């Protein structure tokens, strides 16, 4: 059985060669202490932790699952100890500011670390999933005393936070939620209601759990404008148990070792976080990083899938190939990765995994720039680009995580369907990420409607200008001039169709919603085209080094076999504008 | 929880309106006794059995799985009794000839029955999966005494057969198999070797099991030309146990209630079926129907997915839709199937499920015609078309079964990932069908290389002539003239590219293998275009009837949003011809 190896070389390539992040950090006052050596040390340590501590718990955790009895959740054997090691390693504090007891490292490094955690054990990493988002949320919205009370515990990892949002009748539509918050005289509130799908809503990794709960104040307006955010600890300051009860855990297709809880708030003590009725705004503070992290789950799964499929394909021999690598000995049967169908699958796995790494890390780097860049204009532009690309990363990466896991499973043949190999678990685990943290359909609407059509700033033109700039550099190189031409053509067509969407929308308000899914895919395929064209340039003339040679190969594969999908999505975007969809009878 | 309802109306539509099968049966001497009324009665009875007897065991069977101890396999509770009911209902005999104790009904009806069984309980239906194939195989290849000994038991269902093909080192490449067969003096053989992935290799549904085993005779040529087929019963005629041992069962991602066995043949008594060293030819007798049946698994999963997604979407309310059906009351939140993204998903589910039903049943009808048509030329042409379309049905339908299950799961949001709803099981169960009975990659090679490029007869031109003929009828109707034009254009381009593939192959023998996957998809998307264009014509002028109105809707959806994929696959077929794929380093 193949063991996951953190792709440290490729991570270094993206961070140093492709993003040139260390040079950027050197210009940012709060990140000046980070250099290549420190980055590499952090990633190496994280790789050791991920491969050594949590990877061995992945399959076991899936088989054992979480156990629920009498309101308590027991995580799989080894999970609490691994979390203790995570805390002792200082990992929860990685991206928190030094003033809060954190290490003040870039989001970019945190993102790379998360990729490894998710690749090794998605279910385990779920417990720490919203810690950074909760940190940001408290930091920006909590009153001073609440920050002082809970921020250090979250940064140290002593307290794990949860996000309590969904209710049985309110999933994608949070406006429908019914959990109530009644004010007490002392400024606290009594929270009552039922929440579902609360990841890590109850567990045995930490003593205390801090629930971030969306609820309605008395007389709050209906819908999403009447929602407030509360902090509800599992344990109160006197050590007594707050009135939050776990009524059960979900039995799920995957991430079975992650406790997905039904929570009952029965007049639990809670404190308002941010302003009354502005809970969604407070929660959105964590959205960009949270959705990027979910995208990293997709990347982690795709990377794990690529590694395991390649490992198996190199060992498994079936049939003679029509063509063999020069010099390979004749055998009764060839390694299956000699066969063209398998080469397609493997090259696509590599091009997508590595391509998503470039794109995803770029978004993380944009988040760092949006916070730390010295130039306010650069901060603003970085914020705009990150906000634009985030729903794309969330939706496209998670879909690829699932689809590439399925492609990799196919490489294993019948063995892939057996639990003897971990690829079937990768497939099961990966599927959830297309749903939670805003379904991929909601991401598509967010991208086209909110981030493009209703966005008064010029984020999309800025993005396309970057793509065109890269393409114009590439067009000077005869090897890449055709690819550059395709990329520019796609940019032009995408820009043009935005105008058509606006025009159509005036008469037919539903039109953009019919085209949103394909618009997201179109821009995603195009964006990976950009990252591969840039990679081809970065690696140009350095083909003696295998990593740079492989970048040239992957870029070629991407432009021949993957970029053409952009045209297909463009066709469907146009079809959505002109063709109405009938309603189906109930 | 939604209950599966056998789509009897749609089945009747396909059989009567679309295929006009009863008129064809009336012309076939051996099927003259079958008319519309009988067909409907059979399907109604089958629906009652599928929904009433095996559907209730589906989720339970998944949770309980098969149990293995001391060489014995215990199937989930209720499985043996359900099989008894199946036998008592006479279902195993459905498509066997009356002279063999069967009911002599068309493959078409058998295929429709199988669709229901697979939709209700794929794992249970696995036990009966190769019964018909084994019947055909014995009928055509076994010596008289062997037929007399085992055929009646297979037809009655008293004996369940298995196919023992894969070995640990020999999966897709049967040529690598090592199981040996040593002749005894009495004409029997001693079979020794290890087989894996034998579905129903051991179980408690029947007393006796008849293993069809691929093995090598002494001095057999190496590779696939040295393989012979043997019959190896679990129980010998004196009631003693033959030397076939079950060493374990696979723990799998899905179809967990189907016993996937590792079998050890330890000098077991066996008898040659067919000629020495011609085992593969004997086995291929069952291939066309077996691959069609696996395709029906894909259709069954897609249909189950479509039904459950539609049922859930009609009940679940989230957010107000941008547009509502005329006259629908204003509510706090609309049924989610009002939202455009969900309408896309649901319309695609319906268009693919119903489209595959037309195409799949047509192939079944072709098998009936190839056996029973009075005109020898029609028999020959039907054989050719069925042989051509079978790998396409196997690969495309099973892929759609999985992809549409995933699309349906998305409709359920977080609930879809929970085992509270059966859709996650549909997703898990469906995945295997892309692998077994020849992986989908092998189907693609079979289609392009064997059935098109190396096929001296004109099966593909005949197929495309049918498509063009339908398109030319449709082009007279202004509503469909554009769609007809697209279909004809795709037929022309597909035909043209065959010439290019032949030319390229002369210099670059690997080229067709690089394009085979997209060629299969191209022809599949095109074929569904044909069935929908025919459906539009069949239903034309009958829109007062909801089923015919919905056919017009689905055809429109298919031509606007699904047929464009054909162009994309054409692009990739061309890319495969001109672009070589690098070899990946081990």
Q: Are A321 and A343 in contact (CB under 8 A)?
A: no
The answer to whether residues B161 and B271 belong to one domain is yes
Q: Quickly list DSSP for A62-77.
A: HHH--EEETTEEEPPT
Nearest residue to A138 via CA among A231, A234, A269, A232: A231
Q: What is the CATH number of the domain that holds B231?
A: 2.40.110.20
The answer to whether residues B162 and B54 belong to one domain is no
Give buried/exposed letters for A240-259 (b at 16+ CB in 10 A, else e).
eebbbbbeebbebbbbbbbb
Residues 6+ apart with CB under 8 A from A340: A321, A322, A323, B510, B513, B514, B516, B581
Q: Quickly list DSSP for A350-404.
A: HHHHHHHHHHHHHHHHHHHHHHH-SSHHHHHHHHHHHHHHHHHHHHHHHHHHHHH
| Neighbour-count burial of B582, counting CB atoms closer than 10 A to its CB (0-12 exposed, 13-18 middle, 19+ buried) | middle
Measured between CB atoms, does A90 come within 8 Å of chain B?
no
B157: left (phi over 0), alpha (psi -120 to 50) or beta: left
The answer to whether residues A80 and A166 belong to one domain is no
Inside any domain, residue B421: no
Determine the distance in angstroms separating the CA of B188 from the nearest CA of chain A, rounded to an integer: 30
The answer to whether residues A166 and A274 belong to one domain is yes
Domain region containing A64: 8-134
The answer to whether residues B29 and B97 belong to one domain is yes
Half-sphere exposure of A259 (CA within 13 A, CB side): 28
Nearest residue to B573 via CA among B490, B484, B451, B457: B490
Contact B197/A414, CB-based, under 8 Å? yes
The answer to whether residues B124 and B168 belong to one domain is no
The answer to whether residues B520 and B575 belong to one domain is yes
**The length of chain A, given as a count of residues:** 586
Inside any domain, residue B295: no
Inside any domain, residue B419: no
What is the C-alpha R_g of chain A?
Answer: 24
Nearest residue to A141 via CA among A286, A5, A324, A18: A286
Can you read off the two tokens belonging to residue B353?
């499920």
State how far the alpha carbon of A36 is from the alpha carbons of A32, A323, A359, B128, in Å.
11, 42, 20, 62
Contact B584/A350, CB-based, under 8 Å? yes
Contact A409/B431, CB-based, under 8 Å? yes
The answer to whether residues A443 and A586 belong to one domain is yes
Single out the residue in A262, A280, A298 at which a domain terminates.
Answer: A280
Contact B431/A406, CB-based, under 8 Å? yes
Considering only CB atoms, which chain A residues are within 8 Å of B557? 581-582
The answer to whether residues A47 and A174 belong to one domain is no
Rounded CA-CA distance A361/A47 in Å is 17
Chain A 132-191, residues with CB within 8 Å of chain B CB atoms: 166, 169-173, 175-176
Inside any domain, residue B217: yes
Residue from the list B340, B445, B586 with its beta carbon closest to the beta carbon of A514 = B340
Contact B514/A350, CB-based, under 8 Å? no
* The predicted structure's pLDDT at residue B289: 85
Contact A564/B546, CB-based, under 8 Å? no
Listed in order, strand segments (DSSP E) in B254-399 are 260-273
Has A495 been annotated as catalytic?
no
> DSSP 3-state assignment of B547?
helix
The answer to whether residues B127 and B166 belong to one domain is no
Chain A 520-559, residues with CB within 8 Å of chain B CB atoms: 546, 553, 556-557
Single out the residue in B280, B297, B323 at which a domain terminates.
Answer: B280
Can you read off the two tokens belonging to residue B20?
């006009």
Contact B251/A319, CB-based, under 8 Å? no
Can you read off the two tokens belonging to residue A500?
């058509």
Q: Are B262 and B249 in contact (CB under 8 A)?
A: yes
Measured CA angle at A94 (ends A92, A99), to 5 deg = 100
Residues 6+ apart with CB under 8 A from A30: A97, A104, A372
Rounded CA-CA distance B175/B280 in Å is 10
* The predicted structure's pLDDT at residue A1: 43
* The predicted structure's pLDDT at residue B586: 58
Half-sphere exposure of B549 (CA within 13 A, CB side): 8
The answer to whether residues A450 and A580 belong to one domain is yes
Inside any domain, residue A121: yes
The answer to whether residues A113 and A18 belong to one domain is yes
Contact A431/B414, CB-based, under 8 Å? no
Work out how many domains chain B is built from and give that number: 3
Nearest residue to B80 via CA among B175, B200, B170: B200
Low-confidence ranges of chain A (pLDDT < 70): 1-2, 586
Single out the residue in A252, A280, A308 at which a domain terminates.
Answer: A280
Output phi, psi for A209, to 5 deg: -130, 135
Chain A 354-393, residues with CB within 8 Å of chain B CB atoms: none
| Neighbour-count burial of B390, counting CB atoms closer than 10 A to its CB (0-12 exposed, 13-18 middle, 19+ buried) | buried
Q: What is the CATH number of the domain that holds A21?
A: 1.10.540.10
Can you read off the two tokens belonging to residue B25?
């049966």
* Chain A interface disruption, residue of B312, B340, B426, most A CBs within 10 A: B340
Residue from the list B172, B409, B560 with its beta carbon closest to the beta carbon of A579 = B560
State how far the alpha carbon of B131 is from the alpha carbons of A148, B96, B120, B154, in Å.
71, 10, 19, 7
Catalytic, out of A115, A202, A354, A437: A437
pLDDT in tens, chain B (586 residues): 458 999 999 999 999 999 999 999 999 999 999 999 999 999 999 999 999 999 999 999 999 999 999 999 999 999 999 999 999 999 999 999 999 999 999 999 999 999 999 999 999 999 998 999 999 999 999 999 999 999 999 999 999 999 999 999 999 999 999 999 999 999 999 999 999 999 999 999 999 999 999 999 999 999 999 999 999 999 999 999 999 999 999 999 999 999 999 999 999 999 999 999 999 998 887 777 899 999 999 999 999 999 999 999 999 999 999 999 999 988 999 999 999 999 999 999 999 999 999 999 999 999 999 999 999 999 999 999 999 999 999 999 999 999 999 999 999 999 999 999 999 999 999 999 999 999 999 999 999 999 999 999 999 999 999 999 999 999 999 999 999 999 999 999 999 999 999 999 999 999 999 999 999 999 999 999 999 999 999 999 999 999 999 999 999 999 999 999 999 999 999 999 999 999 997 5
* Chain A interface disruption, residue of B167, B310, B323, most A CBs within 10 A: B323
Inside any domain, residue B118: yes
Q: Are B289 and B132 in contact (CB under 8 A)?
A: yes
In the DSSP assignment, the letter for residue B255 is -
* The predicted structure's pLDDT at residue A286: 79
Rounded CA-CA distance A574/A518 in Å is 9
Contact B318/A557, CB-based, under 8 Å? no
| Neighbour-count burial of A133, counting CB atoms closer than 10 A to its CB (0-12 exposed, 13-18 middle, 19+ buried) | buried
Which ipTM value was assigned to this complex? 0.98
* The predicted structure's pLDDT at residue B156: 97
pLDDT, one tens digit per residue, over A412-452 is: 999 999 999 999 999 999 999 999 999 999 999 999 999 99
Residues 6+ apart with CB under 8 A from A583: B324, B325, B337, B338, B343
Inside any domain, residue A26: yes
Inside any domain, residue B389: no
Nearest residue to A65 via CA among A80, A53, A75: A75
pTM above 0.80, yes or no: yes
Chain B 273-312, residues with CB within 8 Å of chain A CB atoms: 310
Q: Are A66 and A73 in contact (CB under 8 A)?
A: yes
Nearest residue to B476 via CA among B527, B540, B417, B521: B540
Residue of B nearest to A441 (CA): B341
> DSSP 3-state assignment of A247?
strand
Q: Are B524 and B578 in contact (CB under 8 A)?
A: no
Measured between CB atoms, does A221 come within 8 Å of chain B?
no
What is the C-alpha R_g of chain B?
Answer: 24
Catalytic, out of B136, B437, B482, B489: B437
């Amino acid at each position: 059985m193949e063991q996951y190896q953190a792709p440290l070389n490729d991570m270094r390539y993206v961070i140093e060669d492709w993003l040139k992040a260390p040079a950027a950090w050197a210009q940012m006052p709060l990140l000046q202490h980070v250099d290549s050596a420190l980055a590499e040390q952090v990633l190496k340590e994280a790789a050791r932790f991920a491969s050594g501590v949590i990877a061995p718990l992945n399959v076991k955790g899936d088989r054992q699952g979480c156990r629920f009895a009498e309101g308590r959740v027991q995580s799989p054997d080894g999970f609490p100890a691994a979390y203790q090691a995570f805390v002792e390693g200082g990992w929860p504090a990685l991206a928190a500011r030094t003033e809060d007891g954190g290490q003040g490292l870039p989001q970019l490094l945190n993102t790379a670390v998360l990729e490894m955690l998710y690749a090794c054990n998605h279910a385990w990493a779920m417990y720490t999933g919203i810690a950074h988002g909760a940190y940001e949320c408290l930091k920006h919205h909590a009153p001073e005393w609440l920050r002082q009370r809970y921020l250090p515990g979250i940064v140290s990892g002593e307290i794990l936070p949860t996000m309590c949002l969904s209710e049985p009748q309110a999933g994608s539509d949070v406006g429908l939620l019914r959990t109530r918050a009644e004010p007490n005289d002392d400024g606290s509130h009594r929270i009552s209601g039922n929440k579902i799908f609360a990841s890590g809503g109850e567990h045995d990794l930490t003593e205390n759990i801090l629930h971030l709960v969306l609820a309605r104040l008395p007389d709050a307006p209906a819908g999403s404008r009447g929602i407030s955010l509360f902090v509800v600890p599992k344990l109160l300051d006197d050590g007594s148990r707050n009135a939050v009860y776990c009524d059960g855990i979900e039995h799920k297709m995957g991430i079975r070792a992650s406790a997905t809880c039904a929570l009952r708030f029965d007049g639990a003590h809670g404190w308002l976080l941010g302003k009354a009725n502005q809970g969604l705004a407070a929660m959105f503070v964590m959205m960009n990083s949270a959705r990027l992290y979910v995208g990293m789950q997709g990347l982690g799964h795709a990377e794990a899938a690529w590694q395991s499929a390649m490992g198996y394909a190199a060992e498994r021999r079936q049939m003679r190939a029509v063509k063999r690598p020069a010099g390979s000995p004749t055998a009764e049967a060839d390694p299956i990765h000699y066969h063209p169908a398998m080469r397609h699958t493997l090259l696509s796995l590599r091009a997508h995994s590595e391509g998503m790494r470039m794109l995803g890390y770029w978004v993380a780097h944009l988040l760092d720039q949006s916070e730390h860049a010295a130039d306010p204009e650069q901060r603003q532009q970085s914020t705009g680009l990150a906000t634009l690309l985030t729903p794309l990363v969330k939706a496209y990466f998670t879909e690829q995580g699932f689809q590439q896991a399925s492609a990799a499973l196919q490489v294993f043949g019948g063995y892939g369907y057996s639990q003897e190999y971990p690829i079937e678990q990768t497939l099961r685990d990966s599927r959830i990420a297309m749903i939670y943290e805003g379904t991929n359909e909601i991401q598509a609407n967010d991208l086209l409607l909110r981030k493009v059509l209703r966005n008064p700033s010029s984020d999309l033109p800025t993005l396309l200008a970057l793509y065109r700039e890269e393409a114009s550099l590439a067009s000077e190189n005869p090897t890449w001039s055709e690819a550059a031409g395709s990329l520019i053509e796609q940019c032009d067509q995408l820009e043009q169709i935005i105008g058509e969407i606006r025009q159509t929308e005036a008469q037919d308000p539903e039109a953009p919603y019919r085209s949103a899914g394909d618009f997201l895919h179109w821009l995603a395929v195009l964006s990976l085209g950009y990252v591969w064209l840039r990679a081809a340039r970065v690696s140009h003339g350095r083909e003696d080094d295998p990593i740079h040679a492989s970048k040239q190969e992957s870029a070629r594969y991407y432009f021949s076999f993957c970029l053409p999908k952009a045209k297909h999505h463009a066709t469907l975007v146009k079809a959505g504008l002109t063709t109405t969809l009938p309603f189906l009878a109930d």
